[in-house]
Structure formats: structure tokens, C-alpha cells
Amino acid sequence: MQTITAPELAMWLADENRPKPVLLDVREPWEFQTCHIAGSVPIPMNSIPERLQELEEDASIVCICHHGARSMSVAAFLERNGFTQVTNLTGGVHAWALQVDNSMPTY
């Protein structure tokens, strides 16, 4: 599994010449409502197995959670299930709020 930092992800999203990844936010609904990266797709961690068909196996997927642990577990699960371009956001939305978007609420 690959990892990416918040500033690296911000550069990727800003790069007009690079296809955008699916930003898979695996936190609970209340967490997503509190804050999220624009364009993120909310699918709580415990719903991933039953909602796998919503994701394309060959899409670039960046898994996101609060600090990076849950998303790492989901990224590993996706890889075990045939997904080939999976990346984990190191530090999660907390790192994004501290390093990229200071206006994002933290919790």
C-alpha cells in the first residue's frame, strides 16, 4: 500500500494534468459532517465490505480517516480484494487541517 502526506495530496488535487483520485472517507457520518476534504466520498469503515461494488477496482483511491489508522485498515482490505491503486492519507483529515487547510475544524 502506498501512503501520501496531506501536502502531497493537495498538490495532486491541484494538478490539472493528473486524474483526480477517489477520496474515500471511511469515518463515521458525524465525523464527516464535522469536517471533510472537498469532494470526498463518505463510506464508513464498517460499510466498506457491503459497498465494494460502488468502487472501481482500477481507480486511484485515497483512503481517509481522522488520523490514518482506520483508513490504513480499509486500504489493506481493498488491496486484498483486488484494488490495485490504493493509497492511505498519513495523518488523516487532522493532518489536512494542520498542514493544508487551516480553516478546517479539528476534533
The set of catalytic residues is: 65
CA distance linking residue 1 with residue 51, whole number of Å: 21
CA distance linking residue 75 with residue 12, whole number of Å: 19
Q: Distance from CA of residue 105 to its chain's centroid?
A: 17
Contacts of 76 (CB under 8 A, 6+ apart): 1
Measured at the CA of 32, the angle between CA 101 and CA 48, to 5 degrees, comes to 120
> Counting beta carbons within 10 angstroms of the beta carbon of residue 6, is it exposed (0 to 12), middle (13 to 18) or buried (19 or more)?
buried
